[in-house]
Amino acid sequence: MIDRLFNWADDRLALSRGGRHLLNKIFPDHWSFMLGEIALYSFIILLVTGVFLSLYFVPSEHMTVYHGPYLPIDGTKVSEAFASTLRLSFSVRGGLLVRQMHHWAANIFVGSIVVHLLRVFFTGAFRRPREINWIIGANLLILAIFNGFLGYSLPDDLVSGTGIRIAFSILESIPIVGTYLATFLFGGQFPGSGIIIPRFFIIHVLILPLLILGLLGAHLGLLVRHKHTQFPGPGAREDNVVGSPLWPVFAAKTTGFLFLVAGVSALLGATTQINPIWLYGQYFPWKVSYAVQPDWYMGWLDGALRVMPSWEIHFPGHMIPNAFFPAILLPGITFTAIMLWPFLEAKLTGEDRREHHLLDRPRDRPVRTALGAAIFAFYFVLFGASATDVLANYLSLSLNFVLWSFRIACIVVPLIVYPVTYKICKELQETPGAGKRKVHNIVVRDAEGGYHTIPAEEYPGFVGEEAPPLDVDRIDVLTPAGASEPTPGIYRIPRDYTD
Amino acid sequence: MSENGSEHAPSETGEERIAVSADSSQFQVAARHPRRVEKSAFVLFLVSVAAFAAFGATYVLGASDMVLGVLLAVGMLGFGVALASWGKYLMPRGPFEEYRAPMRTTEEQKKLLVSDFASRGKVAIERRGFLAKVMGVAGAVFGVVALFPLIRSLGPKPGKTLDTTPWKKGSYLTDINGRRLTVADVNVGGFVTCFPEDDIGGAMSQTVLLHPQTTDIVTRVGRETWAPQGYIAFSKVCTHAGCPVGLYEQATEQLLCPCHQSLFDIYSGCEPVFGPAPRPLPQLPLYIDSKGYLRAQAPYNEPVGPGFWTRGGEL
């Protein structure tokens, strides 16, 4: 039956042509290659849970009177968006779970992209020929951050509504076109003509997901085209990839991993409350609450808005507002610099422009590593600065002291991180065997009381001495009998192991 | 390869293929104790079967979201760990490799593509040069006008809408319920958010009415009459990022914006004394009419809220 189905499809799609090559695609075994997979799988979770939510959410700012199981606000005026979010949270079976899974998955999505980006940066995986894929990845990060912001803005609650208010201010701070962009998008001066939630909704569920899907396809397509990078190691060369084949080894591992990511999202969604909008209440423009922070990936921008000194640029008839510098210029420079980095590095180091498929160990590139760490420290300080008020409260310090500490820290910390990281890299370079895979040793004491170290016994999976890699496209496996007929490929997996 | 007992065998394609014994270490499983992994994976798959089934049953029965989520998570985590360890420990541990061709093509390949593209295109376009030109014009015009409906229909031009608020000369200070405020409504130390009557709840017209003392407050030269009997009003829209300046600290007579912690000093006309806010909150000139109602002498004399490109005015 399966044979007939396969033949039917193969006759029409020529699956066998090249299909075997796909099964043999090699995926390196290093754990750091899973970071991008987390991003991919959390995106899948976002799509699935998001479709569920879209069946119940009503993207409307139209005011209605809330009646429902959440009694503290029963009978108060709320928007349809707010009311429908409560309805899908409390009256739809499993709704709150799916909503919280969606929100957690969004936080994981952006987080895994950032960590993936750091991995690619510190190992030099962005170098030729992967500059285009690096740029695509940076754009995916931008889109993920934008879509996260739009998503948590949809319920029209007091916290996210304040965020939308700030977004309007940031838009109108852009020189020349800013006021037009703001009134076009909102349908007038803030709060606009009641269309911002519907517009955010369609951008959130259709426009940006389509862009993300397209770029994701290109990202993975280029991954197949270039094949994976790999760390230097036994048998690893510029002209090969060493690891596990897609079928069946990687397929099993990665599918299992998809379920792990989904399982963690489900566990967080089930046990860890996120964005309880019923505690915040409906957004009204004149209301505001204290000690609220945006989702974590907006933290660096919020922190930048806080630590920015109160400067503006005035000239006759025009001005550049304060918010422009931390909220438009800073992210603009950030993402431009990220996208240009591969080219800058190639130029600055005056280095070869050969293709690189073998990754750098971060220590072997101390300048890049130290620079990356210092810049990351800068953004991490900004991230911390988004909690100035909470920290001041919690530590019983004056707000002035906390804010000034962050203003100074965002300059001083990177200046400290750079030389420290540089020094650590240099030290690691000079320490033989540091970070290498350890060979298991056994310490034995002999009859005279002396101690000897002997290497541990080898066993399957022993990581001491590795066998050389086998070329999946060229091997034929002899049957265990050692007989005359080789079986093509690596399909035959011996099962007669001893325990 | 030789140390793995492999031998060379020519393949049909002529490319050299390598025959390897199934006993090669690359084909062995990675686990030290495969039976144990097998058993654990088996148990975990059973756990996920039970958890998924329980999820279905409790969903039908109407369990809480927390129970549903935990069951779902247990099922997925069990499934995930079992499958991943199957792949990691019970399948050939390799390593395997595949060949990677360099991305850079040969000069001949490049030349062939470029010359094909150029020569064919040249023939096609040069033969009908006038067509190419008029097609270019049509495309350009379309490209420009296609933006019109997309951009122009979205919303109104900003015009002067950012510069003014609905406050007018004589506007009554009105609370959120539409009640006109009198001097009796705000005690010393009080704080009320108010609006003009025709814009109750307005995002840009929201104003804080304070009453820190009972005598006139002069915040600045030229504002001698603006705060009669200590009733004083400022725009509630922060000049930094537009949040409502919602926290009033009576002890220091300061207003704090909870979004980015800008601090405004009431007695100096809400000059920003701390944080990122660059400009003072605009002050609404008040008077008390004969019936004791608080009213606006005039609208705000500058745009309220955060800055924008055409705000200008002050240097």
Q: For B144-173, what is each residue's pLDDT tens digit?
A: 998 887 777 888 989 889 999 999 999 999
Per-residue pLDDT at A481: 47
**pLDDT at A118 > cutoff 60:** yes
Per-residue pLDDT at B7: 37
pLDDT range class, residue B26, cuts 50, 70, 90: confident
Provide CB contacts within 8 A for A35, sequence distance 6+: A112, A115, A116, A119
Per-residue pLDDT at A435: 63
Query: Any idea which residue has 């600065």 for tokens?
Result: A385
Q: Residue A491 has which token pair? A: 């399909």
Better-scored residue on pLDDT, B98 or A336: A336
At A493, is the secondary structure helix, strand, or coil?
A: coil
**pLDDT at A492 > cutoff 50:** no
Better-scored residue on pLDDT, B70 or A19: B70
Nearest CA to B247 out of A49, A292, A22, A25 is that of A292
**pLDDT at A499 > cutoff 60:** no
The answer as to whether A484 is a domain residue is no
Residues of A in contact with B15 (CB under 8 A): 474
* Statement to judge: residues A300 and A371 lie in one domain: no
Per-residue pLDDT at A459: 53
Per-residue pLDDT at A473: 73
Of B79, B258, B276, the CB nearest to A305: B276
> Which of A88-97, A186-195, A281-290, A445-454 has the weakest average pLDDT?
A445-454
Better-scored residue on pLDDT, A172 or A439: A172
Provide CB contacts within 8 A for A363, sequence distance 6+: A369, A424, A425, A426, A428, A429, A435
* A197 touches A156 (CB < 8 A): yes
Say what percent of chain B tops pLDDT 90. 69
Q: Which own/partner contact pairs does B244-247 have at CB distance under 8 Å and 24+ positions apart?
A: B244/A285, B244/A286, B244/A287, B244/A288, B244/B193, B244/B206, B245/B208, B245/B281, B246/A287, B246/A288, B246/A290, B247/A290
Could you tell me which chain A residue has the CA closest to the CA of B97? A242
For residue A175, the distance in angstroms to the closest alpha carbon of chain B comes to 5
- Write out residues 406-425 of A within 8 Å (CB-CB) of B: none
Per-residue pLDDT at B16: 63
pLDDT range class, residue A469, cuts 50, 70, 90: confident
Residues of A in contact with B96 (CB under 8 A): 26, 242-245, 469-472, 490
The answer as to whether A37 is a domain residue is yes
Cα within 13 Å of Cα(A320), Cβ side: 9
Say what percent of chain A tops pLDDT 70. 91
Q: Residue B268 has which token pair? A: 């100096």
Q: Tell whether A266 lies on the interface with B, counting CB pairs under 8 A.
A: yes
* Statement to judge: residues A74 and A127 lie in one domain: yes
Provide CB contacts within 8 A for B278, sequence distance 6+: A310, A311, A312, A321, A322, B239, B240, B272, B307
Q: What is the phi/psi pair of residue B7, to 5°? A: -130, 160
Contact B77 A255 (CB under 8 A): no
**pLDDT at A437 > cutoff 60:** no
* Statement to judge: residues A126 and A242 lie in one domain: yes
pLDDT, tens digit, 9 for 90 and up, residues A392-416 = 999 999 999 999 999 999 999 999 9
Q: What is the mean pLDDT of chain A?
A: 90
Burial of A395 (0-12, 13-18, 19+ CB in 10 A): exposed
> Which of A11-15, A62-66, A347-351, B302-306 has the weakest average pLDDT?
A347-351
* Statement to judge: residues A131 and A257 lie in one domain: yes
For residue A372, the distance in angstroms to the closest alpha carbon of chain B comes to 28
* Statement to judge: residues A422 and A350 lie in one domain: no
**pLDDT at A110 > cutoff 50:** yes
**pLDDT at B4 > cutoff 80:** no
* Statement to judge: residues A350 and A372 lie in one domain: no
Question: Which among A305, A331, A358 is the end of a domain?
Answer: A358
Of B79, B83, B243, the CB nearest to A162: B243
The answer as to whether A334 is a domain residue is yes
pLDDT range class, residue A438, cuts 50, 70, 90: low
- Write out residues 196-255 of B within 8 Å (CB-CB) of A: 201-204, 206, 236, 240-244, 246-247
pLDDT range class, residue B8, cuts 50, 70, 90: very low
Per-residue pLDDT at A369: 97
Cα–Cα distances (Å) from A168 to A287, A295, A387, A471, B240, in that order, read 16, 18, 22, 57, 12
* Statement to judge: residues A270 and A143 lie in one domain: yes
Per-residue pLDDT at B153: 85
The answer as to whether A421 is a domain residue is yes
* Statement to judge: residues A289 and A393 lie in one domain: no
Nearest CA to B197 out of B217, B219, B177, B172 is that of B172
Of B28, B76, B88, the CB nearest to A253: B88
The answer as to whether A124 is a domain residue is yes
pLDDT average, residue stretch A331-337: 98
pLDDT, tens digit, 9 for 90 and up, residues A224-257 = 999 999 998 878 899 999 999 998 899 999 999 9
Per-residue pLDDT at B3: 35
Question: Which among A343, A358, A373 is the end of a domain?
Answer: A358
What's the total number of domains in chain A?
2
For residue A286, the distance in angstroms to the closest alpha carbon of chain B comes to 6
Contact A321 B307 (CB under 8 A): yes
- Write out residues 286-345 of A within 8 Å (CB-CB) of B: 286-292, 302, 305-312, 314-323, 326-327
**pLDDT at A156 > cutoff 60:** yes
- Residue range of the domain that includes A154: 28-358
Q: Tell whether A478 lies on the interface with B, counting CB pairs under 8 A.
A: yes
Query: What is the Cα A120 distance to its own chain's centre?
Result: 12
Per-residue pLDDT at B29: 81
Measured distance CA(B191)–CA(B247) in Å, rounded:
9
Per-residue pLDDT at B176: 96
For residue B130, the distance in angstroms to the closest alpha carbon of chain A comes to 37
Of A165, A250, A290, the CB nearest to B242: A165
* Statement to judge: residues A255 and A163 lie in one domain: yes
Could you tell me which chain B residue has the CA closest to the CA of A499? B33
pLDDT range class, residue A21, cuts 50, 70, 90: confident
Question: What's the DSSP call for residue A126?
Answer: T
- Write out residues 29-88 of A within 8 Å (CB-CB) of B: 29
Better-scored residue on pLDDT, A386 or B26: A386
pLDDT range class, residue A144, cuts 50, 70, 90: very high
Cα–Cα distances (Å) from B270 to A286, B82, B86, B164, B282, in that order, read 18, 64, 67, 19, 8
Contact B97 A470 (CB under 8 A): yes
| CATH number of the domain bearing residue A96 | 1.20.810.10
pLDDT range class, residue A495, cuts 50, 70, 90: very low
pLDDT range class, residue B15, cuts 50, 70, 90: low
The answer as to whether A19 is a domain residue is no
Measured distance CA(A413)–CA(A448) in Å, rounded:
55
**pLDDT at B65 > cutoff 50:** yes
Q: What is the dihedral of CA A281, A286, A289, A291, to 10 degrees?
A: 140
For residue A268, the distance in angstroms to the closest alpha carbon of chain B comes to 8
Measured distance CA(A81)–CA(A89) in Å, rounded:
12
Could you tell me which chain B residue has the CA closest to the CA of A252? B87
**pLDDT at B51 > cutoff 90:** yes
Question: Which among A324, A358, A392 is the end of a domain?
Answer: A358
**pLDDT at A128 > cutoff 50:** yes
For residue A247, the distance in angstroms to the closest alpha carbon of chain B comes to 10
* Statement to judge: residues A220 and A244 lie in one domain: yes
Better-scored residue on pLDDT, B99 or A141: A141
- Write out residues 106-145 of B within 8 Å (CB-CB) of A: none
The answer as to whether A23 is a domain residue is no
* Statement to judge: residues A365 and A335 lie in one domain: no
Q: What is the mean pLDDT of chain B?
A: 89
Per-residue pLDDT at A290: 83
Query: Any idea which residue has 């020349």 for tokens?
Result: A176
Per-residue pLDDT at B24: 76
The answer as to whether A466 is a domain residue is no
Measured distance CA(A73)–CA(A70) in Å, rounded:
7
Measured distance CA(B274)–CA(A399) in Å, rounded:
9
Per-residue pLDDT at B104: 86
Q: Tell whether A473 lies on the interface with B, counting CB pairs under 8 A.
A: yes
* Statement to judge: residues A316 and A377 lie in one domain: no
Provide CB contacts within 8 A for B253, sequence distance 6+: B212, B265, B266, B267
What secondary structure, in 3-state letters, does chain B show?
A: CHHHCCEEEECCCCCEEEEEECCCHHHCECCCCHHHHHHHHHHHHHHHHHHHHHHHHHHHHCCCHHHHHHHHHHHHHHHHHHHHHHHHHCCECCCEEEECCCCCCCHHHHHHHHHHHHHHHHHHHHHCHHHHHHHHHHHHHHHHHHHHHHHHCCCCCCCCCCCCCCCCCCCECECCCCCECEHHHCCCCCEEEEECHHHCCCCCCCEEEECCCCCCCCCCCCCCCCCHHHCEEEECECCCCCCECCEEECCCCEEECCCCCCEEEHHHCCEEEECCCCCCCCEECEEECCCCEEEECCCCCCCCCCCCCCCCCCC
**pLDDT at B315 > cutoff 60:** no
Better-scored residue on pLDDT, B7 or A144: A144
pLDDT range class, residue A496, cuts 50, 70, 90: very low
